[in-house]
Amino acid sequence: MIPRGERNPYHQISTIKVLIEGRVQGVWFRGWTVENARELDLDGWVQNRRDGTVQAVFSGPDYKIQEMLRRCEEGPPLADVAAIKAQPHTHDVQRGFRVRRSR
């Protein structure tokens, strides 16, 4: 068994940047994202953007990233997700998951 917080060397690790559109600000989307990403033991960050979208970076095993994307499609109860756009992210990501300042 691999202890929590340690990576299984047999799982492919990926990092993606995600843009989430719809009613995603003012509905606790960032806090919800932090809770879910930490539950899945993903690294990365989430932030509000001035254009009303939410942007996030998720890093971890592919199967956990896919689960996080599935969860983001639903979002927290008051959210109304219209679209999710994902692309590979090549920058280094700090361990842990946190909220970044809005930009």
Query: Could you tell me the domains of the chain?
Result: 13-91 (3.30.70.100)
Is residue 36 among the annotated active site residues?
no
Q: SS3 of 30, please?
A: helix
d(CA 90, CA 82): 26
* DSSP 8-state assignment for residue 2: P
Residue pLDDT, tens place only, 59-90 = 999 999 999 999 999 999 999 999 999 999 99
Residue 9 predicted with pLDDT over 70: no
Which whole number is the average pLDDT over 31-58? 98
Is residue 30 among the annotated active site residues?
yes
pTM for this predicted structure? 0.89
Q: 48, 49, 95, 98: which one is catalytic?
A: 48
Residue 6 predicted with pLDDT over 80: no
Q: 30, 38, 49, 71: which one is catalytic?
A: 30
